[in-house]
Structure formats: C-alpha cells, structure tokens
Amino acid sequence: MEQLVFLAIVFFSAVISTMFLAGKVIAKLKLAGIVGKDMHKEEKPEVVEMGGIAIVAGFVGSALVGIILHLFFGFNFELAGIMAALLTVCIVAIIGIYDDLVDVGQVVKALLPLAAAVPLVAIEMAGGQSIISIPFVGGIDFGILYAILLVPLAIAVCSNLTNMLAGFNGLEVSMGIIIFAALSILSFMHGQIEMSVLSVAMLGALIGFLKFSWYPARAFLGDVGTLTIGAAIGAAVILSSLKSAGVILMLPYIIDWFLKALNGFPKSFAELGKDGKLRAPKGKIRGFADLILTIFGGLTEKNLVLVCVGIETVIAIFVVIYFGKY
C-alpha cells in the first residue's frame, strides 16, 4: 500500500507540473516564433511547435520526486536503473530539440538514439536480465547480445516508431497515455517498481499535456516530444521482465513503420476533403493512419485519433489481461 501511495505522488506531481509548465512553455515558444502550420485544417493555422519540452520537464521532475521519496522516505527501488533511464531519455530529448531546430535528417535521427542507450547498456551489463519471455515460445537467454545489441535497438526503435506515427491533433499524447497506463498497471501487478516509476511519471506528464494537444491543438509535441515518449517506453520495458508486453503494445507503430517502409517513408500529409474528412492521398496506404482512413472511407481528424486510440485500448486490455496472469 505504501508503494502505491508513493507512485500516486509521482503521478500527480507529473500531472500538475506538466499542466503548469505547458502554458508557460507554449507562451515562450509562441513569442519566439517557433510555430508550424496545422496541415490537416482547411485554414492551415499556425500552432506552437516543440511543446513536448513541457512533457520532458514534467516527466523528469516527477521522476526526481520519486528519487527524493526513495532517498528520504523509504520508497524502495533500484536507484541506478532509474538514473540510467532518466539519462537516456534526456539524451533522446536533446536529440529531439536539436532535430526540431536544425532538422538532422531521418537516417541520423534513427541512429543517434543508439548512443543515447549507453547508460542503460551499462546497467544491463552490470547484472541486468538477459532473458526475454516470448508468448507461446518461452524464455530465451540472449546473453551479452541483449545488453550490447537489443537494448540500444530498443531505444532507437521505440523512439523512432513513436516519432513516425504522429501528425494528428492529440494522437501522440493519447496513444501514449493508453500505453503507459497499461505499463503502469502491469508493472505494479508484478512488483516491477522501476518500471512503475517511469510509467506513472510519463503517464502523468502526458495527461497533463493532453488538453494542449487535443483537437484543436494549441501545441505540437515536436520531435522532442515524440522521440521522448518512445525512449521512455523503451527504458521502462528494458528495466522490467515485461519486454514482450511492450512489443505488443507497440503493434500499431510497428504496422505503421512497415507500411511506410514499403512506400519509401513518404512525408506528405493526409488529404482534407470538402466534407471535412481526411483521406489517404490518392487512395494509397502509406501508413497506419492511411490504413484506418481507407477502411472507414475517410474520417475527421478527431475521429481518426479516436479510432486509433480505440485500437490501442483494445491491445492494452489484452496485454494487461494476458500478462497479468504471469
């Protein structure tokens, strides 16, 4: 019960701090002229970019609250793992800020998170769990390859996947909320406190930012936000024994990557019709959002996001039920 109280403190500190900081950050970014056009609106309004800075600040700040609770009030978890995860996420956030300001290119952005994973690699090499339990297969021990290969790949892949399935008001934040809610529940059920701290911290930060991101958006997350969400997912899963659960939760993102890879990773937006509905450009399915739009014959931006969130919710419920048994 005491652990639950500590986690609740971390969660609410993330919600409150992110809500407070978001307004300040958005105002400063707007004043600095860091804005972009909302391409899925007929009038193409200008919206503040890089709002994800508030999410990063809320996440890190609430995780630091958890560390204070650990040092002085008996909140029991492995401090080294949390510190390594925070360092990795912060490095990825810096990469996102740099890319938002300079645009480093897709290939470089895909590879840089590999280096960001070094703190987690060090932790895993010092005694982390190298066995991954795969549903219907069982546990597989990857040995040293887990730390030096799979951990960096997990951070790079997760951060880039969440960066790619984006571009619609509220999509990145609301999908992240469902994923981290599932991870929070699972990690608490299994006593994976390090995963719990990271998950509830990011869950709270995303909930605190939702009203700024939801349709019509007052701020876009930017790469600093989307890359950080993925890095936090990867870091939380790496510090747990629930790695397969994380992979299943990422299924929409994985499908999105394969569809975009088949189409050469296009950068064009969905087409806005006169009826206010979005459709796949020329009927071509170039990603997960295009797939949903094609299945439904077109959707408003808000309804597209709701469908995607609904799909992620169904996946999350399955994951919690299935992995909650073990």
3-state helix, strand, coil in the chain (%, to 5): 70, 5, 25
Distance CA 226, CA 162 (A): 6
Please, what is the average pLDDT of the chain?
A: 92
- Which pLDDT band holds residue 86 (cuts at 50, 70, 90)? very high
Distance CA 314, CA 181 (A): 13
Contacts of 293 (CB under 8 A, 6+ apart): 270, 278, 279, 280, 299, 304
Choose between 205 and 269: higher pLDDT: 205
What is the pLDDT, as a whole number, of residue 222? 95
Please give the share of the chain, as a percent, with pLDDT higher than 90: 80
Q: Are 132 and 243 in contact (CB under 8 A)?
A: yes
| Structure-block tokens of residue 157 | 């892949």
Note the pLDDT tens digit of each residue in 4-44: 999 999 999 999 999 999 999 999 999 999 999 998 998 89
3-class state of residue 203 by DSSP:
helix
The answer on pLDDT for 54 being more than 70 is yes
- Which pLDDT band holds residue 155 (cuts at 50, 70, 90)? very high
- Which pLDDT band holds residue 326 (cuts at 50, 70, 90)? low
- Which pLDDT band holds residue 282 (cuts at 50, 70, 90)? confident
- Mean pLDDT for the stretch of residues 132-161: 79
Q: Domain extents for the chain?
A: 2-249
What is the pLDDT, as a whole number, of residue 129? 67
What is the pLDDT, as a whole number, of residue 141? 62
Note the pLDDT tens digit of each residue in 172-212: 999 999 999 999 999 999 999 999 999 999 999 999 999 99
- Which pLDDT band holds residue 315 (cuts at 50, 70, 90)? very high
* Residue carrying structure tokens 């300040």: 24
The closest of 10, 131, 1, 169 to 82, measured between CA atoms, is: 10
Strand 138-141 versus strand 131-134 pairing type: antiparallel
Which of 26-30, 125-129, 216-220, 241-245 shows the lowest mean pLDDT across its residues? 125-129
Note the pLDDT tens digit of each residue in 118-134: 999 998 887 766 666 66
The answer on pLDDT for 143 being more than 80 is no
